[in-house]
Amino acid sequence: MIVLLFVVHVLIAIALVGVVLLQKSEGGALGMGGGGMSGFMTGRSTANLLTRTTAILAALFFLTSIILVVLGNAARAPRSMIDEAPPGPVVPLAPSPAAPQVPVAPATPALPAQPSVPLAK
């Protein structure tokens, strides 16, 4: 679907460039003059046709651009980690190999606290 829409988008872009280049330049921008093809496509009705065609192609270009962005971002929608199931069974990590265990002597039990000075009777 996206590939077909992208091909249509490129064809619309090429057609839009072609229609814009067919139009007569009226401003003479950059000193280029405006009358290269004097006999081809002259008249008021042709200008209206090219203007309408340009507007329609531009609207289609914007529409296909927006649709391509929406379809392209649909798969990248942010998801919550809570809603997702874990990818597979959870395997506990094995303890990392550490230094060999040396048996430790049990600690001596703490002696009850006795006063340092004998109590007088």
pLDDT digits (tens, 9 = 90+) for 56-109: 999 999 999 999 999 988 777 666 777 676 666 766 676 666 666 666 666 676
User: What pLDDT score was predicted for residue 43?
Assistant: 59
Residues 26-44 pLDDT 10s: 665 555 555 555 555 555 6
Report how far residue 51's alpha carbon sits from residue 57's, in angstroms, rounded to the nearest whole number.
10
pTM of structure: 0.51
Please report, for the chain, the start and end positions of each structural domain, with discontinuous segments joined by +.
1-20+45-70
> Do 12 and 64 contact (CB within 8 A), yes or no?
yes
Distances (CA, A) of 47 to 19, 52, 85: 11, 9, 61
User: What pLDDT score was predicted for residue 90?
Assistant: 66
Residue 19 CB partners (closer than 8 Å, separation 6+): 50, 53, 54, 57
User: What pLDDT score was predicted for residue 54?
Assistant: 94
User: What pLDDT score was predicted for residue 58?
Assistant: 96
